Structure 1
Amino acid sequence: MTAKKRIIFCDFDGTITVNDNIVAIMKHFRPEGWDKLVEQVVSKQISIRDGVGRMFALLPTSRKQEIVDYAIGNVQIRSGFAELLAYCEREQIHFLVTSGGIDFFVYPVLSAFPIPKEHIYCNGSDFSGPQIRIEWPHACDEHCDNDCGMCKTAIIRRYPADQYERILIGDSVTDFAGAKLVDTVFARAHLIDLCEELSLNYRPFETFHDVINHLEEMKAR
């Protein structure tokens, strides 16, 4: 029997980065009503797509450069990320970034790392009107009605469970649905609570060095 190929689906905001970049942008520019929208997304009163779209619609495109510069300059990469990518390369683990973040900061930040652009899934942005408009090139498929925006479960389903050992790395509400589909979850923050609640197979982590250690343990089994 052929061994399954290992594949990682890795979140960006609050996972690859130490902070949540969307929340950081909103806290910095403080458009009226942003905090209520964040609360509604976290409590699942409104969908992620609806909440994120409405948050960015509060920001004027006249401040584009200021917003882009802040978003990129504010990023801190979690320790061990470069080492994890090198480990995946050595071990032939397929690595995808599945991000609910926005292209104008996700792509520039990740350009410092050897990740092919086609392995990065995130939301788009349109600065042509008076307010920022978020675009959704990876919206939910027919199997998901969560209105995710960037649907992680749709990406995961492209890699069948009978052929792939599926691993998710994440921290928050955008990872909840995907965590239910995969074999193993590396979790931090809110995602730990969900994994505990649903008795999912998970391992907590703080740095990507922890993830590498766990992957080595899994390989040894």
Structure 2
Amino acid sequence: MAKPIIFCDFDGTITETDNIISLMKQFAPPEWESIKDEILSRDMSIREGVTRLFDLIPSSKKEELLGYLQETSVIRKGFKEFVSFAREKGIPLYILSGGMDFFVHPLLKEYGPFDGIYCNQATFEDQTIKVRWPHPCDSQCGNGECGCCKPSIIRRMNLSEDDEIIVIGDSVTDIEMSRYANTVFARDYLAEKCEEDSIPYKKFETFYDCLEVLKMEVPV
């Protein structure tokens, strides 16, 4: 019997909006938009793009950034119930995020604990925000500059052939890990790319959609 394991994105998936984009709209100068466009078109690596985005914002804004997200970020409907179901059934649930530790952990705090939270790290010692990358690409990654390399994280877990990999995501950072999945829940940009690349997926808008399918299709 297959053993389900869930790998879930954070920004734009668990939260209704992408938190990095929200921060840039509120705090960054106008040039952030051209960087964002290059990331989405894949003309610039995620690692380089995110580094350049945060370098636009003064480190002195740290508390203001977090406070803004705590006031404005909305957790997608059904997430609490989805987490409760996974916990009740003993289904491992990992959060794989291209976001930053200073907001990922606080925004998830009331819903945990999780089996693991993987994200990037922001530092505030310099004049502008710098990014550290604790989850780099492995030798099998063809991109090399993912930042938080989600497929590399999955490979390092040495999962067995009996594991049923479930991926939930919405953006460019989720494309490669979707190729590893037995089941993909996708929305927004990721759904478009799944269509283009012929990756089977199930569209979702809330975690109630994911939960309904999980209850029907995953043996628990």
Normalised TM-score (structure 2): 0.94
Amino acid at match of 2:71: G
| Counterpart pick for 2:122 among 118, 122, 125 | 125
Normalised TM-score (structure 1): 0.94
Distance in 2 (CA, whole Å) between partners of 1:210 and 1:180 is 21
| Counterpart pick for 1:151 among 146, 149, 152 | 149
Question: Partner of 1:128: helix, strand, or coil?
Answer: coil
Deviation above 3 Å: which 4+ runs of structure 1?
none
Residue aligning to 2:32: 34
Does residue 204 of structure 2 align to residue 210 of structure 1? Answer: no
Question: Partner of 1:96: helix, strand, or coil?
Answer: strand
Which stretch of structure 1 is more off in the superposition, 16-25 or 210-219?
A: 210-219
For structure 2, the 5+ residue unaligned runs are none
Contact in 2 for aligned 1:6/1:165 (Cα 8 Å): yes
Distance in 2 (CA, whole Å) between partners of 1:68 and 1:87 is 29
Residue aligning to 1:174: 173
Contact in 1 for aligned 2:77/2:207 (Cα 8 Å): yes
Amino acid at match of 2:116: H
Question: Partner of 1:193: helix, strand, or coil?
Answer: helix
Question: Partner of 1:59: helix, strand, or coil?
Answer: coil
Q: CA deviation at 1:78?
A: 0.1
Distance in 2 (CA, whole Å) between partners of 1:216 and 1:66 is 40
Residue aligning to 1:163: 162
Q: CA deviation at 1:32?
A: 3.9
Deviations 1:50-78 (A, max 9, x none): 10011000111122221221123221000
Residue aligning to 2:13: 15
Q: Percent identity?
A: 44
Distance in 2 (CA, whole Å) between partners of 1:22 and 1:182 is 25
Which stretch of structure 1 is more off in the superposition, 181-190 or 192-201?
A: 192-201
Question: Partner of 2:110: helix, strand, or coil?
Answer: coil
Q: CA deviation at 1:161?
A: 5.0
Cα distance, 1:219–1:4 mapped onto 2, change above 3 Å: closer
Amino acid at match of 1:186: F
Which stretch of structure 1 is more off in the superposition, 94-103 or 187-196?
A: 187-196
Question: Partner of 1:137: helix, strand, or coil?
Answer: coil
Contact in 2 for aligned 1:32/1:58 (Cα 8 Å): no
Q: CA deviation at 1:199?
A: 2.2
Q: CA deviation at 1:33?
A: 1.2
Question: Partner of 1:12: helix, strand, or coil?
Answer: coil
For structure 1, the 5+ residue unaligned runs are none
Distance in 2 (CA, whole Å) between partners of 1:41 and 1:159 is 30
Question: Partner of 2:218: helix, strand, or coil?
Answer: helix
Q: CA deviation at 1:201?
A: 2.4
Contact in 2 for aligned 1:171/1:190 (Cα 8 Å): yes
Contact in 2 for aligned 1:168/1:178 (Cα 8 Å): yes
